[in-house]
Structure 1
Amino acid sequence: MRTSGLLRALDQLPGERIAVGTIVAALQDRAYALLVVLLGLPNCLPMPPPIPLVCGLVLAFVGLQMLFGRGLPWLPQALLSRSIAKPDLTRAIGRALPPLVWLERFSKPRLTVLGGRHAMPVLGLLILVLALGLIVAAPFIGQIPLGVAVCLVGLGLVERDGVLIIAGAGVGAIGLALSAGFAYAIFSGIHELLF
């Protein structure tokens, strides 16, 4: 099933509120990949400061588990028992579907070794680095390249498309360079003021 199909399947889950644990269970073997996409999506648009930080922290947690070869993502029970209102889930999926459907026109299984089981630790390290970049990204717009990179890597995992994973790594390198430049400018400014 393609990424858009997985999201549509989530939208069909019964109930007025959907527990995070139910969503993770429904994703089964694609749980890591779609979690990465879902955590990257909010950062593809200008967002107020807490959102990139929270997404970055959860993404780092997911990346560490991939790095250490855990088969399925483990999330704390407190998070798994949290629920999302069905209208909010439907709205988020509705916003995510058009760009994902557009990207799916260009994606297909290629360089599948990059999305295979043996590549998971390397991809976990990549996700971890991108997540740390999100945590320290410039407010409002600094997280956009990193959010796009995370989404491309996640989409590449779902679609078994190594080219998308490579594209995500490239966009991520640009985003990390921009974040590093922003951090350098801030520290240089503080240094100039104090010394």
Structure 2
Amino acid sequence: MFSNARTSQILAALASQPGERLTVRDIMGVLQDRAFALLIVLLALPNCLPMPPPIPLVCGLLLAFVAVQIIFGRSTPWLPNALLNRSIASVDVERAVARALPAFRRLERFSRPRMTFLDTPLTMRLMGVVILVMALGLLFAPPFVGQIPMGLAVCLVGLGLVERDGVVILSGLVIGAIGLMLSLGFIYAIFSGIESLF
């Protein structure tokens, strides 16, 4: 159903689901063949803004969980039943989608399938490795604002996968490299400070 749909169309379909509450299982059903890529986007979005701990930690761990499944070649994400049965109010989904749609529609004006050699099962597994590395970078990012470059990078990679746009994916990888350097610098500063104490 959504094989050629744009991100905004999938999100609009998600917001139009009937009922007062949506379970995670319902959401996964709407995402269908884009579930992995859109999960990456949804988990990265909170880190595109200054967020206090433990939000980057939780998002990083969930992203790592998703990335490992991509590496092992799963066609759809596996989530435990306890999580699949959790629900969220439909009005909250509609509000979140309404906020996100303008940004996605702006991106879609210039995003299109490009560099489609990146859209292969092998490349998807390599993307899983990259996302795993960036997820680990989120775990060790400086608090409050340090996770923003990594969050933006993961979000762009996810959007590139949804839109099958290699240029957007590569943009995310460049920003991710910068974010990783910031995270490594933060870790180095912590260990240097500890070492100086002894």
1:54 and 2:58 aligned: yes
> Pick from 81, 87, 91: which aligns with 1:83?
87
Alignment match, 1:36: 40
What's the offset of the Cα at 1:93? 1.3
1:23 and 2:47 aligned: no
What's the offset of the Cα at 1:191? 1.5
Q: Is the CA contact (8 Å cut-off) linking 1:41 and 1:96 kept in structure 2?
A: no
Aligned AA for 2:135?
Answer: A
Aligned length: 194
- Superposed CA deviations along residues 61-90 of structure 1, whole A, max 9, x for unmatched, are 000000010111101111111111112212
What's the offset of the Cα at 1:118? 2.6
1:68 and 2:72 aligned: yes
> Pick from 135, 138, 156: which aligns with 1:134?
138
What's the offset of the Cα at 1:57? 0.7
- List 4+ stretches of structure 1 deviating above 3 A: none
Corresponding residue SS for 1:84: strand
1:3 and 2:18 aligned: no
1:163 and 2:182 aligned: no
Alignment match, 2:121: 117
Q: Is the CA contact (8 Å cut-off) linking 1:29 and 1:72 kept in structure 2?
A: yes
Alignment match, 1:177: 181
Alignment match, 1:98: 102
* d(CA) in 2 for partners of 1:100, 1:83: 24
Corresponding residue SS for 1:105: helix
More off after superposition, 97-106 vs 159-168 = 97-106
Give the structure-1-normalised TM-score: 0.96
* d(CA) in 2 for partners of 1:186, 1:98: 39
Give the structure-2-normalised TM-score: 0.95
